[in-house]
Amino acid sequence: MPPTPLLSRARQTLSQAVARYSTAAQGSANPHQAAVKQGLGQLQSLSAKLESRCLRVAVFGLVSRGKSAVINALVGENILETGPLHGVTRWPRSVYWQPEVASDLPWQIELVDTPGLDEVGGDIRADMAQTVANQADLILFVVAGEITRLEYDALAELQRGHKPLLLVFNKVDLYPEIDRQAVYDTLNSLRTELGRDTPGAKLAVDEVVMVAASPAPLQVRVEWPDGRTSDEWEPQAPQIEPLRQALLAIVSQDGSALVALNALRHARSIEGDMVGHVSRLHGDRADETIWQFAKYKAAAVALNPIAGLDLLGGVLIDLVMIRTLARLYGFPITGHEAGRLWRAILKSSGTLLLSEVGSGLLGAGKTTAALVTLVDSASGVAALAGAMTAQASAAGYGAYTVGQAAKTYLEQGCTWGPEGVSATLAALLNETQTSATLARLRQEVEADLVAASTLPS
C-alpha cells in the first residue's frame, strides 16, 4: 500500500541524505569513515520505519506502577511478565499492537516497556531511558497514587525530548477519589514546591488518562444450593478503554505527522554527528584549497586593469573553487548549482556583497589610474598600486568567505536546499495541521530550526 504524502516526502528526504553521504563513506577504512557508515545505517533504519507505518510508544514510570500491565491490557494478552516484586522488567522490550484505526491504511503501534526509572543501576538505566525516549514518537508515563518528586523530575527530563507525552494514572480502582483535575493540581503543587514556578517551567503533559490495567479482584459472597456460603475473589476486567481511545485518536489524526517529524528530527541529530566526521576527513584539505583560490583571485583581480572583467573573472574563480571543494567532499555539483550556491552565499552576507561590489568600483579606479600613468607616470603608478592593493584585499576576502560558506554547506551534506532534512522538517511543520497533540511539538521544534534555516554569513 502507498504511504501518505507526509511519509513519502520524509522517506525521499532520507534517501537523498543517504545518497549524499554515501560517497564520504567510500575509500580506505578509518574511524571517521566507519562513523559515517554507521550514520548511513541509522538513516536507512529510519526510512524503513517510515515505510512500515509504525508509531513507537515508549512507556516509562517508576517501579510497581504497572507499566507492563498497561501494555498487556492494551493488546489484550498477558505477554509481559508482571508481579509484586520490584524490577520485573530488566531491559526494554517491544510489544507490537495493530489496532483498528480510522485510516485508509493499517497502522502498527510498537509499545516499548522499560525498566523502572528508580531501580538499582540508575546511571545505566538513565542512559537506556534517554536512548529509548529519543527513538520514540510518543511517550506514556505511568503513575499510581500520589505523584512523587522523583516522578516529577523524570517527567521534566522526558519533556526536554520534545515528544508528545500522555500521563497515565494507573490503579484508579484503588484511588477512587483521584480525578484528572486532582492530578493536574498535584503537578502544579510539585512545581511550586520544587521552586520551578517560573514562566515556561510548566510540565507539558498533553493529556491525563485514568486507567486500571489490572484491577484488584472483587470479593463476592457465593451462596450454594445446600445453604452454605463462601467468600471468593472474582477477577475484574481491565479499565483500559480511555487510554486505548486516546492512542487511537492520536494515530488516526497525527500518526503520519508524528512519525515523519520525529524521523526527520532524529535524522538531523544523526547528520550532525556525520558532519563532524566528514569535516575531519576533508577539513584541512578544504582550508588549503580555499586559501589557494583566495590568493589566485586576489592576484587575478588585481592584475586585470579592465573594469568589469576583473569582477567577472573573480566570480568565475569562486565558481571553480566551489566545484573543486565539491569534488573533494564527493558531492557532484554542476555549474548551475555552483552559481545558485554562490548567489545564496552572497545574499546572506552584506559585508561580502559590499566587498564584491566595491571590487568592481575599484576596477574602474584601476583603469583610470592606468590611463593617468600614460600622462604622469609617478602619480599614476601610485594610484594604480593603491587600487590594485585595495581590490586584491577585497577579492581575497570575498573568495575566503565564499569558500568557508561552501565548505560548511558541503560538510552538512548540501542540506541548505529544499531537499535537505532541516528544510523538509520545517516545511512539514508549516504544512501540518496543528492538533492538540502536535501543538507543543510544533512550537518547540520550530524554535530549534531557527538557526538551522539560516545560511552562515
Would you tell me the crossing angle of helices 241-303 and 31-52 to the nearest 10 degrees? 140
- pLDDT the model gives residue 6: 80
Please tell me which of 215-219, 238-242, 309-313, 350-354 the model is most confident about, judged by mean pLDDT.
238-242
Q: How far is CA 457 from the centre of its chain?
A: 23
Three-state DSSP class for 165? strand
Q: Where does residue 225 rank: exposed (0-12), middle (13-18), buried (19+ CB within 10 A)?
A: exposed
pTM (whole model) above 0.85: no
Tell me the per-residue pLDDT of 393-449, one tens digit each, with 9 for 90 and over.
Answer: 777 777 888 888 888 777 766 654 445 666 676 776 676 665 666 666 666 666 665
C-alpha cell at 256: 503520519
- pLDDT the model gives residue 435: 67
The answer to whether the beta carbons of residues 68 and 218 sit under 8 Å apart is: no
428: nearest Cα among 4, 6, 3, 2: 6
**What value does the mean pLDDT take over residues 257-285?**
82
- pLDDT the model gives residue 243: 95
Q: Quick check: 208 pLDDT over 80?
A: yes
Q: Quick check: 366 pLDDT over 60?
A: no
**What value does the mean pLDDT take over residues 297-303?**
74
CA pair distance 58, 421, nearest whole angstrom: 24
Return phi, psi of residue 92, to 5°.
-60, 140
Q: How many C-beta neighbours within 10 Å does residue 372 have?
A: 16
Three-state DSSP class for 198? coil
CA pair distance 32, 68, nearest whole angstrom: 40
- pLDDT the model gives residue 377: 54
Higher pLDDT among residues 21 and 55, named by residue: 55
Of 226-235, 285-294, 431-440, the one with minimum mean pLDDT is 431-440
CB neighbour burial string for 104-128, b if at least 16 within 10 angstroms, e if fewer: eeebebbbbbbbbbbeeeeeebeeb
Tell me the per-residue pLDDT of 273-284, one tens digit each, with 9 for 90 and over.
Answer: 877 777 777 788
pLDDT over 90 percentage in the chain = 14
- pLDDT the model gives residue 171: 93
Contacts of 240 (CB under 8 A, 6+ apart): 70, 73, 74, 211, 212, 213
